[in-house]
Amino acid sequence: MSVTGERALVIGLGKSGIAVCEVLRERHWEVLATDEFPERASAAIAHVASLGVTFVPTEKLQQHLRGGELAVLSPGVPPSSRPVSIAWAMGCTVIGEAELAWRFARAPFLAVTGTKGKSTTSALLAHLLRAAGKKTALGGNIGEPLIREVLPDGLEAIVAELSSFQLESIDRFHARVAVLLNISPDHLDRYASMDEYASAKFRIVENSVAGDTLVANRDDERVWRFARTSAAKISVIDYSLVDPSARIAAIDGRIVDTRAGMELAAVADVPLIGRHNLANAMAALGAALAFGVDPTHFPAALRSFAGMKHRLQPVAEIGGVRYVDDSKATNPESAIAALESFAQPVVAIVGGRAKGTAFDALGDALARHARAVLAIGEATTEIEGALAGRVPSERSATMAQAVRRASELAHAGDVVLLSPACASFDMFRSAEHRGDEFIAAVRALAGGDRA
């Protein structure tokens, strides 16, 4: 892309939108910005204004657009929003921040998507590449805007965690290796159907060409069906926890490349809790193989991986009770996987803002695994309905209250698990903030009589 002389409109002043403004202004672009909720973005508006960005209220966009601008959409802004409609009507090319990052990048992409496990798989994949000596960037939905991460000189690989929202707004984005983990109900407050949601995920290989690779979960029926149709166009590496005929398979305590007849690592080398994380590790190994990493690096690299904060993260053991933070479990499928990771009884803290998904399967999982449930946030009534009286449940007004009550209900040997199955925005700034509040409440317990 041109370094100077361009004009852009940034739609949405969240973290990604701010980063786009900063990067484009550093390159002397003329930048306009808009946000449908300026009252929530006053600090961001002031910051980008200090960079020379002109903020334009949505109702005045038509007066400021010339037509032909590049409009960059933040991931949280739906393509159906009014600013996007105005930009299209005025002749702008509308792309997302991930697409812009790809256009600026000078290294190949390894892109990861799926309903659950994206962040862990992306972080582990970047870790595997770095352990093999490759200078690797990591960004996207994992927390850091991708546009910033792709800029350093000398990069050999860029690992991008991509949500369905980010994939909605790609154009020419191309990944040398794409990873498709799973598809389960999520964000149905934004998508009309599961098919529409899945179609957004499947765009990850929309621009793939011969020589590219899709790493696909053979155990997910929707993913595997899509992968089989993609095999005529690109290479496919499948992985499976249960099918020994998959390319990457778990066999007798070993993770095996069945095509090469070679052990990649021992299952015991994976330091993460839960079989779903074993599947995530297999996906990362398949992607690293597809990128040409020497597999002799894998066992030691796996063992040295520290995991991700707020994803089945052990916090403390107090009075024989383990406290585990899984605040990043923002949909029922992720919370179910967390519950199934423990053989011990669980006292579960669940709830928040529902995302249009049903809680029936979560209710069944809680009935199988939970000693008690503490419900928080807006979805408490729905969660209680899904439990149908099968598990003792109570409502808690705050995270601190939920943790204190969980400590009273748990027995020695139990797990107190925060795995909300919901978005955080009813009570917290983010899933990270929610997890931090859980950690703080647990640490407060540790300073009391039960430490």
In the chain, % of residues over pLDDT 70: 97
CATH topology assigned to domain 7-98:
Rossmann fold (3.40.50)
Would you list the DSSP string of 321-373?
EEEEE-TT--SHHHHHHHHTT-SS-EEEEEESB--S---HHHHHHHHHHEEEE
Band (448; pLDDT cuts 50, 70, 90) = low
| Amino acid letter, 315 | V
Q: How far apart are CA 379 and CA 201, in angstroms?
A: 26
Mean pLDDT of 272-289: 95
User: Cβ(81)–Cβ(59) under 8 Å?
Assistant: no
| Whether pLDDT at 194 is above 90 | no
Q: How far apart are CA 326 and CA 434, in angstroms?
A: 10
Q: How far apart are CA 34 and CA 54, in angstroms?
A: 9
Nearest one of 318, 298, 312, 334 to 417, comparing CA atoms: 312
Give the pLDDT confidence of 407-440 residue by residue, as tens digits: 999 999 999 999 999 999 999 999 999 999 999 9
Mean pLDDT, all residues of the chain: 94
Nearest one of 334, 344, 408, 424 to 374, comparing CA atoms: 408
Other Cβ atoms less than 10 A from the Cβ of 308: the count is: 19
105-303: in CATH 3.40.1190.10: yes
Would you list the DSSP string of 294-306?
-GGGHHHHHHT--
Give the pLDDT confidence of 20-33 residue by residue, as tens digits: 999 999 999 999 99
CATH 3.40.50.720, the chain: domain bounds: 7-98
313-446: in CATH 3.30.2320.80: no
Mean pLDDT of 107-124: 95
| Whether pLDDT at 190 is above 80 | no
Instruction: Give the per-residue pLDDT at 4.
Output: 44
Instruction: Give the per-residue pLDDT at 451.
Output: 34
Residue 315, φ and ψ in degrees, nearest 5: -105, -50
| Whether pLDDT at 133 is above 90 | yes
Give the pLDDT confidence of 143-168 residue by residue, as tens digits: 789 999 999 999 999 999 999 989 98
Residue 395, φ and ψ in degrees, nearest 5: -100, 145
Band (450; pLDDT cuts 50, 70, 90) = very low
Mean pLDDT of 80-90: 95
Give me 293's structure tokens.
């990493």
| Whether pLDDT at 177 is above 50 | yes
- Length reported for the chain: 451
| 111 CB-near residues (< 8 Å, 6+ apart) | 159, 160, 161, 162, 173, 175, 177, 178, 179, 204
CATH 3.40.1190.10, the chain: domain bounds: 105-303
CATH 3.90.190.20, the chain: domain bounds: 313-446
pTM: 0.82
Give me 160's structure tokens.
């991008």
Give me 193's structure tokens.
């159907």
Mean pLDDT of 275-304: 97
